[in-house]
Structure formats: C-alpha cells, structure tokens
Structure 1
Amino acid sequence: YDNAVAEAFFATLKTEIGTTIWPTRHQARHDLYRYLHYYNHNRLHSTLGHRTPHETRTNYSHQQAA
C-alpha cells in the first residue's frame, strides 16, 4: 500500500504544531484533537477543490442519498 497520504499528513502536522514537548499526555492529546478538528473543519485542502474534509464528506453523503 502507498502511505504517501499518511506521510504527507504527519509532515503537515509536524510543521503546523511543531515538535513540542508537552508537560502531560493529557495536554498533548488535547492539542492534537484541537488540531484534528481544525484540520477537518477549517483547513482548506487543494486536493479537495479548496474545501475542508468535512465539507467534502458531507457533500458526498448528500449526493449518495439523492
């Protein structure tokens, strides 16, 4: 399997939140989930036609229902 998509995501993650050392696992998890929410609901992706993954998934679901 081609893992280029996963590698690209982790490269973006490291670039955008850095290589911070968090004081607790809870804080690290909190920051990661906050970033994932941003990534899926606010960050535009050029490969998705400059839409968010959430918009793309929602539009796909509505098209399948019709």
Structure 2
Amino acid sequence: MTAATIVKCPECGGDVELGAGVMVAEIVDCGICSSGLEVVSVDPLILALAPDAEEDWGE
C-alpha cells in the first residue's frame, strides 16, 4: 500500500491527491477545476499551473 498526499490546487484551492511515487515535472489534473498542474517540488510537495502546450512548428 502506498501513501497518498493531499495538496491544494493553486488555481481553485481544491484538494489534489498525489501518490507516493510522484516526480518533479509530472503533470496531474485537478479533479475539481480540471486545471493541468505541474509538480515543481517533491520535498516539500508543491504544485503550479502547468505551462500551456505550445505548437511545434518543426523548428
């Protein structure tokens, strides 16, 4: 059994549950507001709004 950690969504303040194996740069979704969130630190566990996907023009 792995322990889950609850952190607050930086967009809506809702609870986001993350598993024990979460890694920096991982993208997760808030179950309340559906915002894409990026794990920016695991100790302490910090989430930030994920950057918008930019188009790749083959450059």
Question: Normalized against structure 2, the TM-score is what?
Answer: 0.24
Bigger relative contact order (CA 8 A; separation at least 6): 2
Q: Answer 1 or 2: which has greater strand percent.
A: 2
Q: Answer 1 or 2: which has greater helix percent.
A: 1
When Rg is computed on C-alpha atoms for both structures, the one with the higher figure is: 1
Question: Normalized against structure 1, the TM-score is what?
Answer: 0.23
